[in-house]
């Protein structure tokens, strides 16, 4: 092999993986990708339509962050659909899926494009949530940095083939980063939303986000990357359904609110500034 060749550059090509997923026999998996392309597209159109009358700069910033969630999502699912961000990867010794074969190659189908693209989509979810809570950019960007770290370690966990222990160590690191985000949402932003006057909306968004986001590491553990008790199509549908909740449903709830009540979102003197005198 060429110098520098590694797992991603060997095994089936994108064309072979596309044929494997869409050539029949894997309809369930194929649908879990295509349905989300459609939903992300509809969400983009919905935001452009409903957001067209927004004038308040902070509401516009929120709507733009919401738009970018679905822009990343439609690209992410296009990557999975085309086979470009799928690979067949051999699991290390001791892994329950070690020795499996997929599409005539030894290894399991890994949807690594999901972890890669969460790196770009989850920060926009946190920007929207933080602005709705009336938080400041220090806290918002802190959560963004931690979600990027979490997703990249998840990607590393999925792609590590040298050792089972190191796969799980990556996972533990990612989970610690995740807890930082959960803390900021549940403690800081909950208090800030109270002061800003957005606590009613924030409570709903917080519930969908925190409960929904916990589903991802659970699926990772149960799916083929972890203890492999769920097959790849079921795991993929799990992620696709979680995406519907944590992205499109969160987007529309937030959007209806800022379109209806743009004045209550302008809590801060600056975007995301804490209201003067509120501590
Ligand atoms: C990983 C594995 C490492 C440990 C943890 C994870 C959490 C992932 C989460 C993903 C959320 C994704 C969303 C995508 C929407 O576009 C990476 C699975 C904790 C919380 C909301």
Quote the pLDDT of residue 25: 85
Q: Does 139 reside within a domain?
A: yes
248 pocket-lining for ligand 1 (C-beta < 6 Å): no
What is the span of the domain harbouring residue 74?
7-265
77 pocket-lining for ligand 1 (C-beta < 6 Å): no
Q: Does 271 reside within a domain?
A: no
Q: Does 2 reside within a domain?
A: no
How far is the C-alpha of 220 from the C-alpha of 225, rounded, in Å? Answer: 6
Tell me the pLDDT tens digit for each residue of 23-52.
988 999 999 999 999 999 999 999 999 999
Number of domains in the chain: 1
Quote the pLDDT of residue 104: 85
151 pocket-lining for ligand 1 (C-beta < 6 Å): yes
Tell me the pLDDT tens digit for each residue of 207-235.
999 999 999 999 999 999 999 999 999 99
136 pocket-lining for ligand 1 (C-beta < 6 Å): no
Domain CATH number, residue 71: 1.20.1070.10
Q: Does 107 reside within a domain?
A: yes
How far is the C-alpha of 101 from the C-alpha of 88, rounded, in Å? Answer: 8
Q: Does 109 reside within a domain?
A: yes
Q: Does 273 reside within a domain?
A: no
Q: Which two tokens stand for residue 11?
A: 């095994």
Of 216, 212, 140, 129, nearest to 174 by C-alpha is 216
User: Tens-of-pLDDT digits for all 279 residues of the chain?
Assistant: 445 445 455 789 999 999 999 998 899 999 999 999 999 999 999 999 999 989 888 899 999 999 999 999 999 999 999 999 999 999 999 999 999 999 888 999 999 999 999 999 999 999 999 999 999 999 999 999 999 999 999 999 999 999 999 999 999 999 999 999 999 999 999 999 999 999 999 999 999 999 999 999 999 999 999 999 999 999 999 999 999 999 999 999 999 999 987 666 655 444 444 444 544
The atom of ligand 1 lying closest to the CA of 153 is 3
pTM over 0.80: yes
What b/e readout covers 137-163, taking b as 16+ CB neighbours within 10 angstroms? eebbebbbebbbbbbbbbbbbbbbbee
213 pocket-lining for ligand 1 (C-beta < 6 Å): yes
The atom of ligand 1 lying closest to the CA of 151 is 17
């Amino acid at each position: 092999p060429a110098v520098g060749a590694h797992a991603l550059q060997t095994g089936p090509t994108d064309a072979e993986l596309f044929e494997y997923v869409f050539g029949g026999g894997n309809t369930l998996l194929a649908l879990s990708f295509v349905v989300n392309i459609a939903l992300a597209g509809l969400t983009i159109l919905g935001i452009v339509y409903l957001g067209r009358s927004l004038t308040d700069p902070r509401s516009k910033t929120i709507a733009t962050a919401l738009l970018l969630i679905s822009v990343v999502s439609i690209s992410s699912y296009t990557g999975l659909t085309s086979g470009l961000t799928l690979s067949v990867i051999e699991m290390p010794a001791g892994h329950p899926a070690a020795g499996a074969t997929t599409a005539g190659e030894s290894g399991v189908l890994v949807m690594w494009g999901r972890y890669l693209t969460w790196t770009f989509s989850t920060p926009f979810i946190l920007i929207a949530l933080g602005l709705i809570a009336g938080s400041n950019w220090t806290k918002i960007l802190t959560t963004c940095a931690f979600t990027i770290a979490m997703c990249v370690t998840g990607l590393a966990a999925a792609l590590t083939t040298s050792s089972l222990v190191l796969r799980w160590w990556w996972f533990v690191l990612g989970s610690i980063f995740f807890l930082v985000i959960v803390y900021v949402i549940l403690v800081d932003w909950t208090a800030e939303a109270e002061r800003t006057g957005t606590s009613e909306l924030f409570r709903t968004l917080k519930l969908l986000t925190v409960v929904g986001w916990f589903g991802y590491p659970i699926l990772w553990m149960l799916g083929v990357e972890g203890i492999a008790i769920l097959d790849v199509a079921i795991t993929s549908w799990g992620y696709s359904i979680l995406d519907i909740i944590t992205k499109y449903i969160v987007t529309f709830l937030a959007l209806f609110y800022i379109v209806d009540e743009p004045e209550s979102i302008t809590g801060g003197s600056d975007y995301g500034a804490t209201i003067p005198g509120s501590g």
